Amino acid sequence: MVFTGFIAAINFVNRVAGVAESINHHPDLSVHYKQVTVSCWTHDVDGLTALDFKLAGLINRVVGGETA
């Protein structure tokens, strides 16, 4: 995702971090100035699990401006 600037990108990362922590499942987050890349992957199983899909849905709610 591309944001208006660095602070907006970091605010998004912080919101995603809160959601991830609430379900104890953490994505890989990469910030490049105003661009954020989010990757969901369960390393223990070397693939995707139901928890990855749950987290992705919650992150989509953050993107949409909802409170997750």
CATH of the domain at 56: 3.30.1360.20
Residue 44 lies in a domain: yes
* Amino acid (one-letter) located at 48: L
Q: In the chain, how many domains are there?
A: 1
What average pLDDT score do residues 28-36 get? 97
Task: For 33-56, write each residue's pLDDT tens digit.
Answer: 999 999 999 988 999 999 999 999
**Boundaries of domain holding 56:** 6-63
Q: Is residue 29 part of a domain?
A: yes
Interhelix angle 50-63/6-22, nearest 10 degrees: 140
- Please tell me the distance from the alpha carbon of residue 39 to that of residue 27, in angstroms, as a whole number: 6
Is 54 part of any domain? yes
Contacts of 50 (CB under 8 A, 6+ apart): none
Q: Is 47 helix (H, G, I), strand (E, B) or coil?
A: strand
C-alpha 1/C-alpha 26 separation (Å) is 18
Domain membership of residue 1 (yes or no) is: no
Does residue 55 fall inside a structural domain?
yes
> What share of the chain has pLDDT > 90, as a percent?
88
